Amino acid sequence: HRASGTWVLRAVHPRVLALASLQAEEVQQQIIRETFHLVLKRDDHICNFLECGSLFGGSDYKLIYRHYATLYFVFCVDSSESELGILDLIQVFVETLDKCFENVCELDLIFHMDKVHHILQEVVIGGMVLETNMNEIVAQVEAQSKLEKAEGGLSAAPSRAVSAVKNINLPEIPRNINIGDINIKVPNLSQFM
Amino acid sequence: MCVLLISGKSKEAEIKRINKELANIRSKFKGDKALDGYSKKKYVCKLLFIFLLGHDIDFGHMEAVNLLSSNRYTEKQIGYLFISVLVNSNSELIRLINNAIKNDLASRNPTFMGLALHCIANVGSREMAEAFAGEIPKILVAGDTMDSVKQSAALCLLRLYRTSPDLVPMGDWTSRVVHLLNDQHLGVVTAATSLITTLAQKNPEEFKTSVSLAVSRLSRIVTSASTDLQDYTYYFVPAPWLSVKLLRLLQCYPPPEDPAVRGRLTECLETILNKAQEPPKSKKVQHSNAKNAVLFEAISLIIHHDSEPNLLVRACNQLGQFLQHRETNLRYLALESMCTLASSEFSHEAVKTHIETVINALKTERDVSVRQRAVDLLYAMCDRSNAQQIVAEMLNYLETADYSIREEIVLKVAILAEKYAVDYTWYVDTILNLIRIAGDYVSEEVWYRVIQIVINRDDVQGYAAKTVFEALQAPACHENLVKVGGYILGEFGNLIAGDPRSSPLIQFNLLHSKFHLCSVPTRALLLSTYIKFVNLFPEIKTTIQDVLRSDSQLKNADVELQQRAVEYLRLSTIASTDILATVLEEMPPFPERESSILAKLKKKKGPGTVTDLEEIKKERSSDMNGSAEPTSVNASAVSTPSPSADLLGLGAAPLTNSAPPPSSSGSLLVDVFSDSASAVAPLAPGSDDNFASPDLASSEVVSEEPADTVHDADELFHKFVCKNNGVLFENQLLQIGLKSEFRQNLGRMFIFYGNKTSTQFLNFTPTVICSDDLQSSLNLQTKPVDPTVDGGAQVQQVVNIECVSDFMEAPILNIQFRYGGTFQNLSVKLPITLNKFFQPTEMSSQDFFQRWKQLSNPKQEVQNIFKAKHPMDAEITKAKIIGFGSALLEEVDPNPANFVGAGIIHTKTTQIGCLLRLEPNLQAQMYRLTLRTSKEAVSQRLCELLSEQF
């Protein structure tokens, strides 16, 4: 299996998350690696839920994922969430990305990670669902863009910063990842329940 | 958490490039020129990106925090992003960050407020909760707060409540939050519902009014034409997310009492069920997903209420349809929901009609998680009528089951087979099959259990012996089968010895042919079987003695095996037939307790999941099968509150006259019941009693206690100075447990007497004795107890206590009874001590020292310097001082290592104020304890009592 860039949205009850963030990167990376192995080996016609091991906080938690072309969107939720509801939420998130980026592709996610993050922040904060109405989310995101433009002059800031990063001159724009040897970082972004 | 995975082809080149860039950024930040906002933002953003590429970032935090106080949205935003990603909750920067957040929350600028709230919710640390848990409710319920800010505030509060519930105060705002359920903005309602659901789980009373509001909101959504809700309609389903949340909220409460509300809710649920039957409005999977999300939640609520048979049966039929749906997700969820439905008495029968579909799922599903759900459901729907079919199917499945779930299936099969066995031959067959198919996954509990059942039911013993004998004929059989076989033939081999095909010698040779392939514990068990054979079949005694005498036994490197061989050989040579018959008698029946297998399954599945189901099923099946029920002993113990767990911990060690050494490797049966009261003499093949000399084997002697000595149980007595519950005394016959409570000068003590033997105690008379001195200061009233205490039973006695004036000694509890042929008499001190009548007093440092000075008369102070008997742990010390009864005063003593306490001793005649101070000296491992009270004797006594505690 090859997937060139994966967004894993991890959604955990804060209790577990607190633990995860305390135990820092090794554990987080282990979680990510585990998630990969669990999700990637599944073919498309089996169910989108799977029970996770102790790493994810035990039997009360499920991984719920959706597969779009080369991307997997994975949420980890406890039993207080509706499974199908989460599938819907992933769909809403993806549709919103699509609207905001006009035909979203992986590179958008990679090079506009700040924007993606802000979109996610409009859907989910602190592990909890904030908004499910796509129009509302898009409106919020657009309002932000307007603010950015209004402050303009100097900026279009994040995008400039990002292009600055682009010019760091990475040997090649990454296309394929080899899960085996990659150094995975899990930033402690929105923790999800 | 978001993860971004990127990797270049040449990792080295990437790392080199990034290190260069990091050095560049570092020099910019350290440079003399102050950076403008734009540059700062640029570099912080670069750092963030590099971090996301998987490199460590250990600087830039301060620059990010600086960005927070910028007035530019874009700078603020990057600053907050950096902080949410890179600052963990322990950072000392938190204080600076909190300041910036505080300013933004007060800014009245909705965008800035939003950023700040998101940051709090994402970090969610305790420090943040301390700083903002009071502020956020105000923002949430303020009339002029923008909708989007309200949404964020609600979720932010929820996050803080989850991480630090103690820091979120309930108050006026709660009722106003409930009214957010009526808000016009559906996003606000959704966020508020999430918040209320979590709060209501802990404070149901406070949020009770949310039920009717939630029902009417739900009703408006469900009955609306899908266009009414415009933006919140998702693929033709009106506000599915909110509906799900509302249905979840309602699951925090029982069915509404108000008939109007209840009717309206029923109407909603019916409408949702009806809509499921309508043709889909769209072919898209999103449409059916959203619709079914609501439907499943409605079914969960119906199951939770468990009160409307009509709805329950409809729900069951709906789930039945899903069981055959082509979407795997729906089949999975249907199996899961049906599992809970199976435990409702209204729908149990309806669930059972789907058995064939479920069995089919077990055979054909490609996904192990779905198959696992199918196993769960079969287990849940099992009852007497279908047990044979279900057990057979599970056994079938076990042959090919995934390794990950085999052990659980084994436990389930074992439980079902036992619970629903009409015919115990079926039970024995099933368990032997289990061992054959999945021997490695058959845990000790399972094979212990089959032995208990065979021993307790004489109708199945012959069959069991015959069956294990046949099973052992297989050239390769699992070691667990050898254990069961060895045990059962050792007990009941005589029942099949009449058949020449299973004559004693053949039985022995069959077992012994497995001997050398087995592990040490199994071999130890087989040796015990052999000595039992000596008793059962005198005709093969010499053969067995030859085996025991062989070098491989007598000189075995394993101590346990060697010891058994030596002792058994000696026993078989010296003891007379009568003595042999007594020692090696058939095992007595086991006391009936909850199946240890069930306990194991509960443990495996975690509390809650199995329990409910089991409780319900147990009730339902109680009339059919007594064997899984706890005995009355157990039941009575269960009804007493928590500390009784201690009291029931009757020793498991077999009873012989010399105290048996702590059992070790070979103790195969000791753990069978968690609180087993297995008593008395006959030698179990598995037990490892040591026969030092044969004459000791003549069992059942218990030495009489000298009548006049008070038990030297001082250590136990002192344990009760700082606690009120526990075991006061225990010997081989009797256990005495205590549970007591005290208020002011009054108290009440429950004494539990547990008979650890299987024989009745007669003329059982406990008496509480006070010396003449004590009688004038302590009033004790007791009621007599029943003079007969059955084997394994526990009786209770209440002592009412009144403290008239301060006292020194402790009352004596004397117990006399007849056990077997002997008269027993024993006495223990009853831990009623002066400190029990303490009431803690809080006081300030100033007050404390003022009073301390007032009590400066040398007669009022008693001091003791003593060596620490226990490790000097401050937390334990604090707990003991509190347990002693006084208040523990913090920040009173100028030296924080010292402990200071204050309280009042209440007696009927007077009240005595007491101050205490304990100074540990860690280096010398010593304490100095000082007591000051208005009465010398009290200071003296309290000092004595407390000194013993450290």
Instruction: Say if CB B691 and CB B567 are below 8 A apart.
Output: yes
Instruction: Say if CB B162 and CB B197 are below 8 A apart.
Output: no
Higher pLDDT, B13 or B425: B425
Instruction: Please check if B477 is assigned to a binding site.
Output: no
- Over the Cα atoms of chain A, what is R_g? 17
Cβ within 8 Å of residue B366, ≥6 positions away = A45, A46
Give the end of a domain, one of B832, B864, B898: B832
Please state the length of chain B.
Answer: 950
Q: Provide mean pLDDT across the span B406-416.
A: 87
Q: What's the domain range around B822?
A: 715-832
- Band of pLDDT at residue B713, cut at 50, 70 and 90: low
- Domains observed in chain A: 14-151 (3.30.450.60)
B48: which chain A residues are within 8 Å (Cβ-Cβ)? 114
Q: Does some domain include residue B467?
A: no
Distance CA B874, CA B872 (A): 6
Q: Are strands B778-782 and B734-743 parallel, antiparallel or unpaired?
A: unpaired
Q: Any idea what the CATH number is for the domain that residue B874 is in?
A: 3.30.310.10
B895 CB neighbour count, 10 Å cutoff: 8
How distant is the Cα of B674 from the closest Cα of chain A, in angstroms?
Answer: 25
Q: Which pair of structure tokens corresponds to residue B181?
A: 């359920």
Strand residue runs (E) in chain A: 7-8, 49-51, 61-68, 71-78, 124-125, 128-129
Instruction: Say if CB A20 and CB A28 are below 8 A apart.
Output: yes
Residues B719, B735: one domain?
Answer: yes
Q: What pLDDT does A186 receive?
A: 36
Q: Provide mean pLDDT across the span A138-163.
A: 66
Residues B781, B841: one domain?
Answer: no
DSSP annotation string for B160-223: HHHH-GGGS---THHHHHHGGGG-S-HHHHHHHHHHHHHHHHH-TTTTTTHHHHHHHHHHHHHH
Judged by CB atoms closer than 8 Å, whether chains meet at B5 and A113 is answered as no
Ranges B52-56, B229-233, B296-300, B782-786, most confident: B296-300
Q: What pLDDT does B249 receive?
A: 93
pLDDT for residue B214 is more than 90:
yes
Residues B726, B818: one domain?
Answer: yes
Ranges A160-164, B245-249, B433-437, B536-540, most confident: B245-249
B132 CB neighbour count, 10 Å cutoff: 22
Instruction: Say if CB B606 and CB B573 are below 8 A apart.
Output: no
Judged by CB atoms closer than 8 Å, whether chains meet at A18 and B89 is answered as yes
Q: What pLDDT does B717 receive?
A: 79
Distance CA B932, CA B860 (A): 5
Q: Any idea what the CATH number is for the domain that residue B724 is in?
A: 2.60.40.1230
Give the end of a domain, one of B807, B832, B857: B832
Distance CA B335, CA B319 (A): 8
- Band of pLDDT at residue B759, cut at 50, 70 and 90: confident
Q: Does some domain include residue B858?
A: yes
pLDDT for residue B659 is more than 70:
no
Tens of pLDDT, residue by residue over A75-118, are: 777 777 788 888 888 888 888 888 888 777 777 776 776 777 77
The 3-state secondary structure of B330-368, one letter per residue: HHHHHHHHHHHHCCCCCCHHHHHCCHHHHHHHHHHCCCH
Distance CA B61, CA B117 (A): 19
pLDDT for residue B45 is more than 90:
no
Residues B872, B827: one domain?
Answer: no
Tens of pLDDT, residue by residue over B562-617, are: 889 888 888 888 888 788 888 887 777 777 665 667 777 776 665 444 434 444 34
A9: which chain B residues are within 8 Å (Cβ-Cβ)? 1-2
Of B735, B754, B732, B731, the closest CA to residue B681 belongs to: B732
For residue A11, the cross-strand partners are A192
Cβ within 8 Å of residue A17, ≥6 positions away = A127, A191, B1
Q: Which pair of structure tokens corresponds to residue B250?
A: 């309602």
Instruction: Please check if B603 is assigned to a binding site.
Output: no
- Comparing alpha-carbon positions, the chain B residue that sits nearest to A49 is B329
Residues B818, B880: one domain?
Answer: no
Distance CA B727, CA B705 (A): 20
Instruction: Say if CB B222 and CB B271 are below 8 A apart.
Output: yes
Distance CA A154, CA B931 (A): 74
Judged by DSSP in three states, A48 sits in coil
Residues B841, B783: one domain?
Answer: no
* CA B931 centroid distance within chain: 41
Q: Does some domain include residue B471?
A: no
List Cβ<8 Å contacts ≥24 apart for B889-898. Answer: B889/B842, B889/B843, B889/B845, B889/B848, B891/B845, B892/B844, B892/B845, B892/B848, B892/B849, B893/B917, B895/B919, B897/B922
Tens of pLDDT, residue by residue over B540-564, are: 888 888 888 888 888 888 888 888 9
Q: What pLDDT does B233 receive?
A: 82
Instruction: Say if CB B837 and CB B945 are below 8 A apart.
Output: no
Nearest to A128 among B158, B292, B332 (CB): B158
Distance CA B868, CA B885 (A): 21
Q: What pLDDT does A126 receive?
A: 67
Of B513, B457, B518, B524, the closest CA to residue B669 belongs to: B524
Judged by CB atoms closer than 8 Å, whether chains meet at A144 and B111 is answered as yes
Nearest to B159 among A24, A128, A177 (CB): A128
* Spatial strand order in the sheet of A49-51: A7-8, A71-78, A61-68, A49-51
Q: Does some domain include residue B741?
A: yes
For tokens 């135990």, the residue is A23
Of B724, B717, B731, B685, the closest CA to residue B882 belongs to: B724
Percent of chain A with pLDDT strictly greater than 90 = 0
Residues B910, B944: one domain?
Answer: yes
Cα→Cα distances B93→B67, B88, B100, B128, B521, Å: 13, 10, 11, 12, 59
Instruction: Say if CB B544 and CB B572 are below 8 A apart.
Output: yes
Q: Does some domain include residue B780?
A: yes
Instruction: Please check if B869 is assigned to a binding site.
Output: no
Distance CA B133, CA A192 (A): 20
B842 CB neighbour count, 10 Å cutoff: 12
Q: What is the ipTM of this complex?
A: 0.72
> b/e string for B778-789 if b means 16 or more Cβ within 10 A?
bebebeebeeeb
Residues B934, B873: one domain?
Answer: yes
Distance CA B487, CA B489 (A): 6
Q: Provide mean pLDDT across the span B73-81.
A: 86
Give the end of a domain, one of B817, B832, B847: B832
pLDDT for residue B910 is more than 70:
yes
- The total number of structural domains in chain B stands at 2
Q: Which pair of structure tokens corresponds to residue B816?
A: 């006399």
CA angle A101, A106, A110 (to 5 degrees): 90
Instruction: Say if CB B497 and CB B504 are below 8 A apart.
Output: yes
CA angle B909, B913, B916 (to 5 degrees): 140
* Window 6-65 of A, Cβ < 8 Å to B: 6-10, 12-15, 17-18, 21-22, 24, 28, 32, 45-51, 58-60
The amino acid sitting at B794 is Q
Q: Are strands A71-78 and A7-8 parallel, antiparallel or unpaired?
A: parallel
pLDDT for residue A8 is more than 50:
no
Q: Does some domain include residue B936?
A: yes
Q: Provide mean pLDDT across the span A58-69.
A: 75
Instruction: Mark out the alpha helices in B439-589 (DSSP H runs).
Output: 444-456, 461-472, 479-492, 504-515, 520-536, 541-549, 551-554, 559-574, 577-583
Nearest to A135 among B5, B53, B231 (CB): B231
> b/e string for B579-593 if b means 16 or more Cβ within 10 A?
bbebbbbbbeebbbb
Q: Does some domain include residue B761?
A: yes
Residues B811, B885: one domain?
Answer: no
Q: Provide mean pLDDT across the span B840-844.
A: 85
A7: which chain B residues are within 8 Å (Cβ-Cβ)? 2-4
The amino acid sitting at A59 is S
Judged by DSSP in three states, B796 sits in strand
Residues B824, B880: one domain?
Answer: no
Provide the sign of the torsion angle of the four alpha carbons B21, B23, B28, B29, taken in this order: positive
pLDDT for residue B670 is more than 50:
no
Higher pLDDT, B646 or A166: A166
Phi/psi for B25 (5° steps) reads -65, -40
B329: which chain A residues are within 8 Å (Cβ-Cβ)? 47-49, 83-84, 87
The amino acid sitting at A154 is L
Of B532, B531, B528, B520, the closest CA to residue B492 belongs to: B532
Instruction: Please check if B42 is assigned to a binding site.
Output: yes
How distant is the Cα of A92 from the closest Cα of chain B, in angstroms?
Answer: 9
Of B59, B4, B46, the closest CA to residue A183 belongs to: B4
Distance CA B448, CA B394 (A): 21
* Window 142-171 of A, Cβ < 8 Å to B: 143-144, 147-148, 151, 154-155, 157-158, 160-162, 164-165, 168-171
Instruction: Say if CB B254 and CB B204 are below 8 A apart.
Output: no
- Band of pLDDT at residue A172, cut at 50, 70 and 90: very low
Q: What pLDDT does A156 receive?
A: 46
- Over the Cα atoms of chain B, what is R_g? 36
Q: Does some domain include residue B587?
A: no
Instruction: Please check if B44 is assigned to a binding site.
Output: yes
Tens of pLDDT, residue by residue over B763-814, are: 888 988 888 888 888 888 888 888 888 888 888 888 889 888 888 888 888 8
DSSP annotation string for B33-65: SPPPHHHHHHHHHHHHHHHHTT----S-HHHHH
Distance CA A162, CA A180 (A): 28
DSSP annotation string for B59-93: S-HHHHHHHHT-SSHHHHHHHHHHHHHH--TT-TT
For residue B767, the cross-strand partners are B814
Instruction: Say if CB B236 and CB B282 are below 8 A apart.
Output: yes
